[in-house]
Amino acid sequence: MKFLILGGFLGSGKTTLLMQLARYLTRGSQEEGPSQVMILENEVGNSGVDDKFLKNSGYQVQNLFGGCTCCTLGSELISSVEDIRNQYHPDWMILETTGLAYPGLIRDNLKNSIGQDSRICSVVDAQRWKRLKIPMGELFTGQIECADTVLLNKTDLVKEEELAEIEKDIRKINGAAALLRTSGIQEIKEAVWREVLGLSAG
């Protein structure tokens, strides 16, 4: 089973991108064919909005309520992953974190507890980056520095000069990650998803 952690700040567009990614995986491509996908939703509180949206779209979703998986839900996350892995045997499990989670801590927890390797994709809100990068700097750094791929989202709402500045900021935090521009209102190209999933050539 392959595991993807989808992180990013509140309102960055994670769920919209997740819908497209799940659709890509379940439809399959010429190289891989269709995949069985299980989605884990980590939401704060006792009821989920995103999970209802995903379930109504036909995807298998399991909830992790009560807080960020990086802290209070550590044991619940591990037991949920093990249960799903043993019961459903999905090809891919995708965890959409809360906007306050640190994906690197989740990856370490999965690896150290059950030996589960994972990839991290962090979504950055291009429209709000300039306004929030100082007050939310520590969180943003924590979400980006561990990522294998960074999706700079909502690029249709930001001018090219500002996008270039944001990309410079991101590169200072993580120069090794693949950095790709996206807009949830447009169909994301297959090459982007292959990079996110670690399936790109080379």
**Over residues 47-75, mean pLDDT:** 51
In DSSP notation, 81-97 reads HHHHHHHH--SEEEEE-
> Alpha-carbon distance 64 to 67, whole Å?
8
The domain of 103 spans 2-196
CATH number at residue 89: 3.40.50.300
Structural domain contains residue 141: yes
On the 0-12 / 13-18 / 19+ scale of CB atoms within 10 A, 181 is middle
Structural domain contains residue 181: yes
Q: Is the pTM of the predicted complex or chain greater than 0.95?
A: no
Structural domain contains residue 48: yes
Structural domain contains residue 202: no
Q: Give SS3 for 23.
A: helix
Structural domain contains residue 201: no
The pLDDT value given to residue 47: 42
In the predicted model, is pLDDT for residue 162 greater than 90? yes
What 181-187 contacts at long range (C-beta under 8 Å, 24+ apart), as own/partner pairs, is 181/151, 181/152, 181/155, 182/17, 182/151, 182/152, 182/153, 182/155, 183/153, 183/154, 183/155, 183/156, 184/13, 184/16, 184/17, 184/20, 184/153, 184/154, 185/156, 186/156, 187/20
Q: Give SS3 for 122.
A: strand
Instruction: Read off the pLDDT band of 67 (50, 70, 90).
Output: very low
Domain count, the chain: 1
Structural domain contains residue 47: yes
pLDDT by residue (tens digit) across 79-88?
Answer: 889 988 998 8
pLDDT by residue (tens digit) across 96-106?
Answer: 998 989 999 99
